[in-house]
Structure 1
């Protein structure tokens, strides 16, 4: 536990007191501070607490009228549909500042998967209590849940949904042509015109095997000659710094190709494209552009939210640039940049003590005030070396008070469920780090 000594100078008298700080924003008051509180009790000390989308309940040391006198302890409660970001309980400190940051952030569920041959529309995107309704393309029938709702546990209401073609195609058998065997022959060859077939889903019969199966009653009447053709679009290629996954045969009529970008890149254009009847792809050309990190935001939550579902964060904090733990860790990571990029990891450095502290994301400098907010939000002490690993969902996964090797870090990340899916895609695309 670090100990800070804060001295207050007043006209006619001088006194001092100390309090403890362990990096979480809470204080343990001593006798001197109790004497100070007795003299100035009832005097507003910290700024009044205002929480958007939440409620505050405060308890003053001696039941004072104002709920922001020194020593006041306030608990933050978020409204339904919102979750706490920061400290759920703060204390008015002698510095006239509350001991931590607090905010109520709207609960958000993961993005829904678009069903093949259909889609969905939502009342409020992926946020809490948003109601999403599935629909299918003409000729397809919805199977499963028609609507799902984003719940307070960040999950959608259960149920599998798909669009299926349940109505069989309509086959019109050609008329039989009567033929008489030629003299001296016991057989005669009978042929039919190409039969007509319609499907309410796509207008034509695309699968030759399905066509033959549906024509079996016609086939049993004699020899049937069928010419099958398949409509195809020009093959698509995955975008640079991204992946492409297609169903069916990849470029035949009705095939759907979905696109994703590697960590650190944002999707531009259509996330999914369908080969249409006219042998052209729906939507617009897809590309992956480098992620633009804005360090000019007002809060640490706004900065970290830019990485949500896109990048993992490795936040490294040290009191000085000369800290031997910090120097060892950064030297080790410099030789592992490919492995960091492969695992979608962005390194955030917080060095020094406010206001003489430096924050950095690669070559972008973070303002001292914003760097301080990051430490307060994540409860990182600025007097010791610390390292925090945050996953793509914004969850604090691991904390270290000592440096580790890049191999140990990569082993930990590779156990994350989402990372295992990424490894499969990267292996298919041939994305690796050369030794």
Structure 2
């Protein structure tokens, strides 16, 4: 038997001899790890037949392969091991942002999130790959929390238009701008829109715009409308006035009127001007002065044109029953006659004993005769004639008429309807 065969037989028969022999397996080398080996007999060499090695990896690495290796009779270890660096799952890229990592996604790597302009980070800005292969903290997201921007115009001031208490104001509709994706909803207006007629005073205009994340942007401005005003006018004594607009605003017109029996002197209408002064001169109401020293009946009637209505009473004698009855009915109705701007003319008698009278003024006989002839009034019978302010013959009565009948007739005249409205506004009436 050869010496090599003898030695192998002795080694198998007496395993303890291997402890003092040459190492059997190659040394165990674990990159990024270490091996804890022990021999069956506690010998010096750590890789003799039967040696067992427990394999461990450094922190941040994980073992791939068996955790224990055995040196076998074929001079090979019972398996292969490898320590691989631990790796966390790949991070998801946040919408509207991103992240930067040091050392990728391996153990100990730090990743920092960032967001695109207009977006804010929600969650942990920095995460670290832990030993258990999970990321520390919460994965971040980028959200749009910044409100959109909208710029309103500055304060708008305007003077009310002539003879109005309003002004039409225009401005450009403000446009919103989103700091994120630029997508906005419609601009919402609170208040009157551009081009509207704004009344006097201050008016708040409020614009609102939303982005897709429902962030709200707002802007406000004031529309100021001012009314230029003159000093308030007063009605003249024994008269009244009617004004347009607000009575004393720029462009307003005030018309002046006198009560029955008075004539207007001065400007019949005045306008509030831009310089805050009134046009014309201040009017007054003076007692009507009837000139009976005229040459013709037409000249006499011209004095009443557009001023007074006439009630002409003609009688052949002062003792006439109808005449006396008519005067008796009109006497207590004087206020109603003045309210309706009625002047009474009496033609009494026949030629050559004919006289005329307007109140306390006596008409010369020739003028009274001309008046009868011009108006075709009979001198032989009682007659009552109603004329309007334009000298038109409106009604003739062959017998006395009651004040109620006369007032009902006169109140149907077109000019009288306007007068009634004015007198109602100023509170002019008879008791």
* TM-score, length-scaled by structure 1: 0.51
Q: Following the alignment from structure 2 to structure 1, what is the Cα–Cα distance between the partners of residues 414 and 227?
A: 39
Say whether 1:349 aligns with 2:346.
Answer: yes
2:238 paired with 1:241: yes
- CA drift of 1:372 comes to 0.6
Give 1:285 shift.
1.0
Q: Residues 106-141 of structure 1, C-alpha deviation per residue, up to 9 Å, x if partnerless?
A: xxxxxxxxxxxxxxxxxxxxxxxxxxxxxxxxxxxx
Once residues 188 and 408 of structure 1 are traced to their aligned partners in structure 2, the CA distance between those partners, rounded to angstroms, is 76
Q: Which secondary structure state, in structure 2, belongs to the residue aligned with residue 335 of structure 1?
A: helix
- SS of aligned partner of 2:220: coil
Q: 2:253 matched to 1:294?
A: no
Secondary structure, aligned partner of 1:423: helix
Choose which of 298, 304, 307 in structure 2 pairs with 1:310. 307
Query: Secondary structure, in 3 states, of the residue corresponding to 1:289?
Result: strand
CA distance in 2, matches of 1:192, 1:333: 70
Aligned to 2:16: none
Specify the alignment match of 2:423 in structure 1.
Answer: 426
Q: Distance in 2 between matches of 1:412 and 1:236?
A: 34
Instruction: Confirm or deny: 8 A CA contact 1:233 1:279 kept in the other structure.
Output: yes
Q: Any conservation in 2 of the 1:264–1:310 contact (CA below 8 Å)?
A: no
The separation in 1 between residues aligned to 2:406 and 2:222, in whole angstroms, is: 64
Total equivalences in the alignment? 249
1:207 paired residue number? 166
1:289–1:210 Cα change, 3 Å: farther
* 2-structure distance, mates of 1:299, 1:198: 55
* Distance (Å, rounded) in 2 between the aligned partners of 1:325 and 1:318: 8
| Cα distance, 1:373–1:215 mapped onto 2, change above 3 Å | closer
What is the CA distance between 1:275 and its match in structure 2? 1.8
1:396 lines up with 2:393 in the alignment? yes
Q: In the alignment, which residue of structure 2 is the partner of 1:377?
A: 374
Structure of higher CA gyration radius:
2
Name 1:84's counterpart in structure 2: none
Q: Give runs of aligned pairs for residues 258-337 of structure 1, distance below 5 A.
A: 258-337=255-334
> Which of 205, 224, 231 lines up with 2:228 in the alignment?
231
The answer on whether the counterparts of 1:192 and 1:225 sit within 8 Å (CA) in structure 2 is no
Deviations 1:377-401 (Å, cap 9, x if unpaired)? 1111112111111111111111112
> Could you tell me whether the CA contact under 8 Å between 1:297 and 1:303 is conserved in 2?
yes
Residue 358 of structure 1 pairs with residue 355 of structure 2: yes
Secondary structure of the residue that 1:398 maps to in structure 2?
strand
Which runs of 5 or more structure 1 residues have no equivalent in the other structure? 1-179
Q: 1:297 to 1:226 in 2, by over 3 A?
A: same
Q: How does 1:30-45 map to 2 (within 5 A)?
A: none
Q: TM-score, normalised by structure 2?
A: 0.52
The 3 A distance-change label for structure 1 pair 326 and 376 is same
Q: Which has the higher contact order (CA 8 A, sep 6+)?
A: 1
Partner Cα distance (2:165, 2:426) in 1: 30
Distance 2:420 2:340 in 1: 9
Instruction: State the SS of the aligned residue for 2:221.
Output: coil
Q: CA deviation at 1:206?
A: 7.1
Distance 1:364 1:198, change over 3 A: closer
CA displacement at 1:349 relative to structure 2: 0.6
Contact kept in structure 1, 2:157 and 2:223, CA below 8 Å: no
> Shift of residue 192 of structure 1?
5.7
> For the Cα contact (< 8 Å) 1:317–1:387, is it kept in 2?
yes
CA contact (8 A) 2:243 2:254 kept: yes
Maintained 8 Å contact 1:307/1:392 = yes
Task: Describe the shift of the 1:277–1:214 C-alpha distance in structure 2 as closer, same or farther (beyond 3 A).
Answer: farther
